[in-house]
Structure 1
Amino acid sequence: MGAALALSGCSSGDGGASSGDGKSGGSGRTAQAAAASFPVTVSGKEGAAKVTSPPKRVAACGYLRDTDLALALGAPLVLATKNAVFPSGLAPWQKPASQPVLVGTAAGMPFEKIAAARPDLILAGDDYQLHDHYAKFAHLAPTLSYRKGVGQDSWDEMARRAGDTLGRREQADALVADVREKITDVREQHPELRGRTFTFGPVVGGDVFTIKSADDAGAQFFGQLGMTLSPKVTSLEDSATAGRAAVAKERLDLLDADVVILAFDTPQGREEFEAQPLFKELKAVRRGSYIGLDMATAIALGFPSVLSLPYGLDAVVPELSEAAKRNA
């Protein structure tokens, strides 16, 4: 599934890899203490992951955040799904110490290649087709599902569930605490964000989409900064992905809010969209409260994890602050 399509709602340890940030390579627990976490069973909507011993070969088979969590927690990652948006197949915040096998999913989930990697644990809580894939995954190895539904588990819950499955819960808790502290610092340093309404979504191939549910992970991210999803979009019909809606070109007024945030799949697409008269007429655009993001930053925020959030915060907060101040 392409990152732009997923964002739009078109639906879309030894030898282990680390995120390269100096924190994820170890939690300070001894191997003996980690092993004491097993056997462990982590329940999920599609089924339970029953892991008897510390995983030695982990496959990240969801869209994006499963790879994030494996890297952040220093799991022995041997295979990951390729992200077609990024030339390397990995997002800029995904920096493995050793290169896992990257597999494409454009033609469907490559179960034969996954089987060839001989995983003893599959992380798939971010797989948008997990309902259809789970039985095949579980036949290969214990598989971590989402708890509530695809795209519905919060970033901190996803980290803790992965930590439980990997026997690295203390490390997961520490990562969550670090990111929460960063978010709290941003919220306290930028009171201008509190109470501001926002809309957020991508423009893909000229089609416009927006997050419409406050339960969406991207909406929750901005909510943690004190912002509120615009009521103009909350009653729109779902697109193929729950919580995200298509916006007709003649109804761009629905996007208007204190701050309008859009992402674009190409520079040309951004130029053409921003030239539209209806877009130029939005109050947010006219006062300078509109932010245009590259797709990498939008994905970091729209699919938040303990690994992507610091990247996304650093990229968007300065512009977000300036856009909010123009509402004064």
Structure 2
Amino acid sequence: MSVVVALAVALAGTGCSTADDTAAAAPVQINLPDGRQITVPKAPRRVVTLGGQWTDVALSFGLTPVGYYDGLEQQGTGTPPWYGDKLKKSVPVDPSGDLVASVAKLKPDLILAPGFASMAGGFDALTKLAPTIDKISGQQVDPWQDMVALMGTILHRPDEATRITAGVDRTITDVARRFPGLRGKTYTFAFAYGSDQMSVLADPSDGAGKLFGQLGLRISKQLTHEAAESGQPRVQVSTENFSLLDSDLLVLAAQTPQLQKRVEGLGGFRGLGSVRRGAVAMLNTVQITGLNEPSPNSIPYAFGQMTSALAAVSRG
């Protein structure tokens, strides 16, 4: 929260925290973790979002991006369902083409481009089109709460930002109350990306890790030990070592439906306690992205896909 709190302090004397027209026209100065200082001269109306989290955050405020990039869409898996039909008038941006030219045509007054700072030459070109924000934290995935708070500051609608965050927090709290038996149980969150390889979450401070933690779940000690040994927030596990995935709850996705069937057919998978108890949420790449890159509308959607598995864990 340091970035957002620093912004709130810096802006406290500008009057832009009010909702009237004068405040909406006031400039907002933002100090970013990469050392850049940018100024958004007034509440933006033509926003380009080059990341799914920011797209959802903008939509949560009722602000439809004039253009957007969504990795899931680019992979051919379709538009994330938590957007609904709100992007039908927005222009998809393909980063594999001339990204800067595509964005320039949209005449943006704000560009949200997480992860694009490493784009050689291109990022500097984006910053010449409009105020451009890359990462807002030092974390691998920016916290969705900080993104909502920052958007509320930029739009001069901090009260709405508070309401959005509180609404999502209520949803998470409701899930925890519905399944009280989750507290203290262990979980495994894994993605199968090859015929015998999986990436497994082992960092409770990761975006998905924080969500599961709010439900009272914790990562197993064997995985946190592996993470400590490797120094990485996600550990690579081969299918020969399926036992490392043993936990009360298993949340698993595979890169393709074919790979999912292969994993489900392996003896090591069928032998896991979570599988035998029915405490498994098999997700597709879209659903698991809603947890990996959490945002206001993806969180309720993703939790809704895990109801039966959460119930099985809670009963156990």
TM-score, normalized by the shorter chain, greater than 0.5: yes
2:181 maps to 1:192: yes
Task: Give structure 1 stretches of 5+ with no counterpart.
Answer: 1-28
Shift of 1:142: 0.8
Shift of 1:291: 2.2
Identity %: 31
Distance 2:246 2:304 in 1: 25
Measured against aligned partners, the alpha-carbon deviations of 1:145-193 in whole angstroms (never above 9, x if no partner) come to 3332253432211211122123232211111011111111221221111
Measured against aligned partners, the alpha-carbon deviations of 1:42-72 in whole angstroms (never above 9, x if no partner) come to 222123331011212100012x101111111
- Equivalent in the alignment of 2:42: 53
- Equivalent in the alignment of 2:204: 214
TM-score (norm 1): 0.80
2:261 maps to 1:271: yes
Shift of 1:275: 0.8
2:282 partner SS: strand
> How large is the Cα RMSD of the aligned pairs?
2.5
Q: Select 1:143's aligned residue among 107, 124, 132.
A: 132
- Equivalent in the alignment of 2:249: 259
Name the CA shift for 1:140/1:230 in 2 (closer, same or farther; >3 Å).
farther
Measured against aligned partners, the alpha-carbon deviations of 1:207-227 in whole angstroms (never above 9, x if no partner) come to 311112111101111111111
2:213 maps to 1:226: no
Name the CA shift for 1:176/1:236 in 2 (closer, same or farther; >3 Å).
same
* 1:205–1:269 CA contact under 8 A, matched in 2: yes
What amino acid is aligned across from residue 61 of structure 2 in structure 1? Answer: L
Matches within 5 A, 1:176-187: 176-187=165-176
Shift of 1:84: 3.5
Distance 1:33 1:316 in 2: 45
Name the CA shift for 1:306/1:232 in 2 (closer, same or farther; >3 Å).
same
- Equivalent in the alignment of 1:65: 53
2:275 maps to 1:285: yes
* 1:49–1:165 CA contact under 8 A, matched in 2: no
Distance 2:156 2:256 in 1: 41
- Equivalent in the alignment of 2:163: 174
Distance 2:154 2:39 in 1: 8
What amino acid is aligned across from residue 128 of structure 1 in structure 2? Answer: G
Shift of 1:228: 0.7
Measured against aligned partners, the alpha-carbon deviations of 1:9-46 in whole angstroms (never above 9, x if no partner) come to xxxxxxxxxxxxxxxxxxxx86616515x211222212
Task: Give structure 2 stretches of 5+ with no counterpart.
Answer: 1-17
Name the CA shift for 1:152/1:302 in 2 (closer, same or farther; >3 Å).
closer
Higher helix share: 2
Q: Select 2:117's aligned residue among 114, 130, 150.
A: 130
- How many residues were matched structurally? 291
2:44 partner SS: coil
- Equivalent in the alignment of 1:40: 28
Measured against aligned partners, the alpha-carbon deviations of 1:235-260 in whole angstroms (never above 9, x if no partner) come to 4469xx96223212222211111111
Distance 2:234 2:204 in 1: 10
Matches within 5 A, 1:73-152: 73-85=61-73, 87=76, 89-95=78-84, 96=86, 98-105=88-95, 107=96, 110-124=99-113, 127-132=114-119, 134-152=123-141
Shift of 1:321: 1.9
TM-score (norm 2): 0.83
